[in-house]
Amino acid sequence: MAEPATSTAAVFASALGLTVFGVATGLHPSLLIAGLAGGLWALFYGEPQPLLKRCLSAVMSALVAAWLAPVTAYSVQELPGAPPGLPLDVLQFPVALVIGFLAMAIVGPGLMLLSRKKLDEAVK
């Protein structure tokens, strides 16, 4: 088991690196941090993993969340029964948290399944 100081330093380095990456690439740094929080939260429910794999999993969750949160938040606004006047800029953060939480367990495997299905259809 990694020492708490090592894990804390890794989380801080990931958050700082994601913020700098977000500014450099135009991704919203706050969405990256919300996705990182979701990815770290998801790690509590998984099997124990080495520190590097945990860090990479959380960072990938953050990237997926930052890319998908704006479009998903907009889509949520358009759903029937959604509260009227729901501000998009406020809705993006909880959406990024949820996407970060689900990214490695649901979104990634779901995309792999969909791509295999489409590939099998194209081959036939």
Looking up tokens 């998009």 gives 88
- Segment 117-122 shows an average pLDDT of 88
How confident is the model at residue 4, as a pLDDT? 59
Q: How many CB atoms lie within 10 A of CB 50?
A: 9
Q: What confidence tens digit (pLDDT) does each residue in 24-80 have?
A: 778 888 899 999 999 999 988 888 888 888 888 888 899 999 999 999 998 888 888
String of b and e for 1-30 (b: at least 16 CB within 10 Å)?
eeeeeeeeebbeebbeebbebbeeeebbbb
> How far apart are alpha carbons 71 and 66 in whole angstroms?
10
- Gap between the Cα atoms of 107 and 86, Å rounded: 25
